[in-house]
Structure 1
Amino acid sequence: MNEGPSRSVRGIGDPPAAETDDIGRRGEPASAESPSSSSARAGSRREAFEPFELAAVLSHYDTGVIEQIREFPRGSSKSPKVVIRCERGEFLLKRRAPGRDDLRKVNFSHAVQLHLGARGFPLARLVRERRRHNTLLSLNGRVYELFEFVNGSAYDHSRELAEAAGRELAGFHRNLADLHPDWSPPAGSYHNSSRIQAHMEVIPQRVGASGAEGAALPDVIAGLQRRYTEAARRAELAGVADWPQQVIHGDWHPGNMLFRGPQVIAVLDFDSVRMAPRALDIAGGALQFSISMQGDDPDIWPIELDEDRFLAFCHGYDRVSGCTISTAEIEAVPWLMIESLIVEAVIPIAATGSFATLEGGAFIRMVGRKVDWIESNARRLADLIAAG
């Protein structure tokens, strides 16, 4: 796998494979393993298919003769995946994790993907099961999906691919502007969330830091709370609450894309699709494709965004016909970025005390420094987009 030179974290920058819900391959394939039962993998926290489960599920699909099945240990450890090579091609079978298997949300996600696929949008296409031609299979209380497997490369941190990602987001929004699905879309977003304070309050005890850094953590959290509230206020002043709502991706970051050359060849993971103003996707994507992280220690990561990539992403979006970023949206982008950055960090740290494999206290301090930088440069960042 080729993940580029920087340290990667899910949802902020370019995530590691173990934290990404990929339906495709980046660079070299993962090591081939035969499917094995969860019980046979003592000490492992990653779920796996039982052989009889695989046989039962695959009997519902027209795959033809199966040549090889190998584990695909990516994404949520509670959602097992295998790559299937067969006479009809390569596919990825996924069992949805508990809590991510709500049929209403899954069906809405599938409606979005089918709509996009019919319009030629790049994604890993869903495969219908044989009997009822549904795109999901509910069997023995579990929910399964089968996708075409896509070969592609990871984001290389280049300006060129940042621009391609912005351009593809514009295509995503344009293609979905007229979608009126039968299934009720999920609600809620990172903007002006009433729940974020409760998550922040539990972080000091979850992290359990000691010494001077532990003593200072409540002040860091309090500072983030103030900045989140102020960023939400500034975004509201720009008019976010009054902007049209449409289907947004909700998780537009490098780990959810596969590239080939200068193009996005597949957008992945539609689990966060929902109705919201498109600016939330624009700001979230601009953050994700411009944030800089190097090494394993968040305390020494650069605080500034990569402005070349930031501008490339925004200009890639803005230059697509019918997708001009409005003056009001430009004003809101830096403040929405602050909200997105805080929420992306706070929720997993509040739940586990860490961010992926990184210590939660160090990660929160890093977020505080980056938020300070964005806040101090908000006017200039907006002016840079407007001048493009």
Structure 2
Amino acid sequence: MAHDQASTFDAAELVIALSHYDLGVIESLTPLTKGSRRSPKTGIVAERGKFLLKRRDAAHCDPERIRFAHALQAHLKRAGFPAPGVIPTRSGGRTFLRVGEHVYELFEFVAGQRYRATPAEAWSAGETLAEFHAAAASLEARGPVPRADYHDNAVVRRAFDSIREQAPGTEGAAAAGILQRLHRAYDAASRAAAACGLPTFPAAVIHCDWHPGNMLFREGRVAAVIDYDTARVSRRVIDVANGALQFSLVGGEDVRDWPDEPDLDRFGAFLSGYESRSRFQPGERDAIPPLMVEALIAEAVAPLARTGRFGDLPAGAILPVIERKAAWIEAHAEALSRRPDAATV
């Protein structure tokens, strides 16, 4: 199975796209490799400042979705949240540009460092998520705003069947058994989250992709949140659980050495940061561990169903790791749902 090929800009494409913006003299262009391989990005130093040009992934070019993401970003920026500004086109003041089959966006460039996996950064990420929820709460979500997320999702369940067709190595009895157990674990976690009252929690605008790759840091603090493509209306604990998972995951160079458990210092720090700005409602904290299991499994099966790989890892290498990590969270759910300063197991 072929890997996802990284998309790139060609010189003529950049000239055409940038001609629609009033940036003054272009001094330099620098390809940026972080983020989605299907969405190329270029850093720009120009007479009028520093910017980032992005070509959207073809699967995420729905105009209503883009308008919602940009309206959210502008709303957050007005509220003082660290969201980069969206730069309008010279003519018509549009916040996205369509040229042929491609859609482009231009943003203010924000300098910062990637996540270094420290408790201080995890704490700041949790605090910033609470600030995001507070600022986004006053945005009126108009039009066909998406509402599905990783919880109790039929697309995730169908992905298990697709993996068997797409991923080499999953035909074996061992891999087939893991897929079966992960499917059962996802279903059980969905039921457990629902039993905590998730369907009754108030709906609001959420980010739905709160992870280190969508943030820049300076001196241990979040400097910018840089991607809003997955924003939707759901329950805020969907973001909290995914963030607690993402900011506490422990990996390494060799997947065989990845531990089952998260980094509990970072896990506790993330939730403490969130609670420094917002209190949990009854049932929300209990829903976090099962939602972490759902998020973990959903994040793995989506690329496996599409390409047969998880990043550079084949299905046969990553599936046992996901199973072990999910089982650990399930086994320690009670401890994980206690207050952050008690999250030692």
Which TM-score bucket, shorter chain as reference? over 0.9
Residue 129 of structure 2 is aligned to residue 172 of structure 1: no
Letter of the 2:337 partner, please give it: A
Matches within 5 A, 1:312-331: 312-320=269-277, 323-331=278-286
SS at match of 2:216: strand
The residue that corresponds to 2:212 in the other structure is: 254
How far the C-alpha of 1:109 sits from its partner, in A, is 0.5
- Using structure 2 for the length normalisation, give the TM-score: 0.94
Distance in structure 2 (CA, Å) of the matches to 1:62 and 1:355: 40
SS at match of 2:94: coil
Matches within 5 A, 1:1-388: 45-209=5-169, 214-297=172-255, 299-320=256-277, 323-385=278-340
Q: Which contiguous aligned blocks of 4+ residues in structure 1 show a shift greater than 4 angstroms?
A: none
Alignment size in residue pairs: 340
How far the C-alpha of 1:352 sits from its partner, in A, is 1.1
Distance in structure 1 (CA, Å) of the matches to 2:279 and 2:230: 24
* 8 Å contact kept, 1:327–1:386: no
Letter of the 1:58 partner, please give it: L
Distance in structure 2 (CA, Å) of the matches to 1:351 and 1:206: 7
Q: Percent identity, aligned pairs only?
A: 42
Larger CA deviation: 165-174 vs 175-184: 175-184
Distance in structure 2 (CA, Å) of the matches to 1:107 and 1:280: 23
Letter of the 2:227 partner, please give it: D
Gaps in structure 1 of 5+ consecutive residues: 1-43
Distance in structure 2 (CA, Å) of the matches to 1:160 and 1:305: 16
How far the C-alpha of 1:263 sits from its partner, in A, is 1.2
How far the C-alpha of 1:218 sits from its partner, in A, is 1.0
1:249-271 CA-partner distances (Å, limit 9, x unpaired): 01000111000002101001111
Letter of the 1:303 partner, please give it: D
Distance in structure 1 (CA, Å) of the matches to 2:291 and 2:33: 33
Letter of the 1:376 partner, please give it: A
* 8 Å contact kept, 2:141–2:205: no
SS at match of 1:335: helix
How far the C-alpha of 1:80 sits from its partner, in A, is 2.4
Larger CA deviation: 178-187 vs 86-95: 178-187
Gaps in structure 2 of 5+ consecutive residues: none
**Would the alpha carbon gap of residues 200 and 267 (structure 1) be closer, same or farther in structure 2, given more than 3 Å must change?**
same
CA RMSD of aligned residues (A): 1.8
The residue that corresponds to 1:4 in the other structure is: none
SS at match of 1:313: helix
Distance in structure 2 (CA, Å) of the matches to 1:216 and 1:228: 18
* 8 Å contact kept, 1:47–1:77: yes
**Would the alpha carbon gap of residues 78 and 381 (structure 1) be closer, same or farther in structure 2, given more than 3 Å must change?**
closer
How far the C-alpha of 1:132 sits from its partner, in A, is 1.2
How far the C-alpha of 1:386 sits from its partner, in A, is 8.3
How far the C-alpha of 1:387 sits from its partner, in A, is 5.5
* 8 Å contact kept, 2:86–2:95: yes
Letter of the 1:271 partner, please give it: D
How far the C-alpha of 1:201 sits from its partner, in A, is 2.0
**Would the alpha carbon gap of residues 387 and 77 (structure 1) be closer, same or farther in structure 2, given more than 3 Å must change?**
closer
Distance in structure 2 (CA, Å) of the matches to 1:202 and 1:134: 38
* 8 Å contact kept, 1:47–1:78: yes
How far the C-alpha of 1:324 sits from its partner, in A, is 0.3
SS at match of 1:166: helix
How far the C-alpha of 1:196 sits from its partner, in A, is 2.2
* 8 Å contact kept, 1:256–1:267: yes
* 8 Å contact kept, 2:335–2:342: no
* 8 Å contact kept, 1:111–1:181: no
SS at match of 2:59: coil
Larger CA deviation: 54-63 vs 143-152: 54-63
How far the C-alpha of 1:119 sits from its partner, in A, is 1.0
Distance in structure 1 (CA, Å) of the matches to 2:119 and 2:91: 46
SS at match of 2:54: strand
Distance in structure 2 (CA, Å) of the matches to 1:248 and 1:82: 27
How far the C-alpha of 1:105 sits from its partner, in A, is 0.6
Distance in structure 2 (CA, Å) of the matches to 1:48 and 1:289: 29
